Structure 1
Amino acid sequence: MTDFKSLVEADKGQPARTIQILDVNIFEAWLKDQPENIRSIVRGYRFVANPESYLLLPCIGTKEISDKTEQGDFTLVAGVIDHKKLDPWALAKLGGRLPEGKYRLADTSARDALFGWMIPQHEFDQYKELPDRQGPSVLLVKDEISQVEEAVRQAEATALVRDMVNTPAADMGPDKLEEISQKLAEQHGGELIITRGDALEKGFPMIHGVGKAAMRQHAPRLIEIKWGKENHPKIAIVGKGVTFDTGGLSMKSPAGMLIMKKDMGGAAHAIALAKLIMEAKLPVQLHLLVPAVENSVDGTALRPGDILDSRKGLTVEVTNTDAEGRLVLGDALTLAGEEEPELIIDFATLTGAARVALGPDLPAMFCTDDDMAEGLLTAGETQDDPLWRMPLWKRYDYMLNSSIADCINSAAGSFGGCMTAALFLKKFAPDNVPWAHFDTYAWRPASKPGRPKGGEALGLRASWTYLKERYGS
Structure 2
Amino acid sequence: MDLSFATADSPAIPLHVIEQDALDAWLADQPAHVASWVRAAGFAAGLGTTLLVPDAKGALTMALAGYGTAEARARGRFHLATAAMQLPEGIYAFHGLDPARAEEEALGWLLARYAFDRYRDQSPATAKLVAPKGVDAARLQVIAAGEALTRDLINTPAADMGPADLEAACATLASAHGASIDVIRGDALLEQNFAMIHTVGRAAAQAPRLIDMRWGETGPTLTLVGKGVCFDTGGLNLKPAAGMGVMKKDMGGAATVLGLAQMIMTLNLPLRLRVLVPAVENAVAGNAFRPGDILTARNGLTVEINNTDAEGRLVLADALAYAAEDQPDMLVSMATLTGAARVAVGPDLAPYFTDDPDLASALDGAAAHVADPVWRLPFHTPYEAMIEPGIADLDNAPKGGFAGTITAALFLRRFAGGTRYAHFDIYGWNPDSKPARPKGGIGMGARALLQALPKALNL
TM-score, length-scaled by structure 1: 0.90
* Residue 17 (str. 1) matches residue 10 (str. 2): no
**1:43–1:254 Cα change, 3 Å:** same
Deviation at 1:417, TM superposition (A): 0.7
Q: Deviations over 1:147-202 (max 9, x none)?
A: 11101111101111111111000000111111111111112121101011011124
Match of 1:176 among 145, 148, 165: 165
CA distance in 2: counterparts of 1:352 and 1:280, whole angstroms: 34
* Residue 190 (str. 1) matches residue 179 (str. 2): yes
Give the conservation status (yes or no) of the 8 Å contact 1:88–1:115: no
The aligned residue for residue 66 of structure 1 is none
SS in structure 1 of the partner of residue 261 of structure 2:
helix
Matches within 5 A, 1:393-408: 393-408=380-395
The aligned residue for residue 293 of structure 1 is 280
Deviation at 1:43, TM superposition (A): 4.2
The aligned residue for residue 379 of structure 1 is 366
* Residue 223 (str. 1) matches residue 215 (str. 2): no
Q: Which runs of 5+ in 1 are unaligned?
A: 61-69
The aligned residue for residue 32 of structure 1 is 28
How many residue pairs get aligned? The number is 452
The aligned residue for residue 63 of structure 1 is none
CA distance in 1: counterparts of 2:222 and 2:374, whole angstroms: 21
- Amino acid in structure 2 at the alignment position of 1:194: V
* Residue 461 (str. 1) matches residue 451 (str. 2): no
Deviation at 1:38, TM superposition (A): 4.2
* Residue 129 (str. 1) matches residue 133 (str. 2): no
**1:300–1:448 Cα change, 3 Å:** same
Q: Deviations over 1:232-264 (max 9, x none)?
A: 211110100000000000110000001100000
- Amino acid in structure 2 at the alignment position of 1:153: V
Deviation at 1:31, TM superposition (A): 2.9
- Amino acid in structure 2 at the alignment position of 1:414: G
The aligned residue for residue 334 of structure 1 is 321
CA distance in 1: counterparts of 2:81 and 2:226, whole angstroms: 28
Match of 2:435 among 434, 440, 449: 449
Give the conservation status (yes or no) of the 8 Å contact 2:229–2:251: yes
* Residue 138 (str. 1) matches residue 128 (str. 2): yes
The aligned residue for residue 226 of structure 2 is 239
- Amino acid in structure 1 at the alignment position of 2:145: E
Q: Deviations over 1:188-223 (max 9, x none)?
A: 121101011011124111101101111xx2110000
SS in structure 2 of the partner of residue 356 of structure 1:
helix
The aligned residue for residue 198 of structure 2 is 208
The aligned residue for residue 64 of structure 1 is none
Give the conservation status (yes or no) of the 8 Å contact 1:283–1:472: no
- Amino acid in structure 1 at the alignment position of 2:7: E
Q: Which runs of 5+ in 2 are unaligned?
A: none
CA distance in 2: counterparts of 1:358 and 1:88, whole angstroms: 17
- Amino acid in structure 1 at the alignment position of 2:156: T
**1:141–1:388 Cα change, 3 Å:** closer
Amino-acid identity (%): 45
* Residue 105 (str. 1) matches residue 94 (str. 2): yes
**1:135–1:25 Cα change, 3 Å:** closer
Give the conservation status (yes or no) of the 8 Å contact 1:283–1:471: no
* Residue 8 (str. 1) matches residue 10 (str. 2): no
Matches within 5 A, 1:73-112: 73-80=60-67, 89-108=78-97, 109=99, 110-112=102-104
CA distance in 2: counterparts of 1:104 and 1:270, whole angstroms: 33
Give the conservation status (yes or no) of the 8 Å contact 1:99–1:134: no
* Residue 114 (str. 1) matches residue 106 (str. 2): yes
CA RMSD of aligned residues (A): 2.3
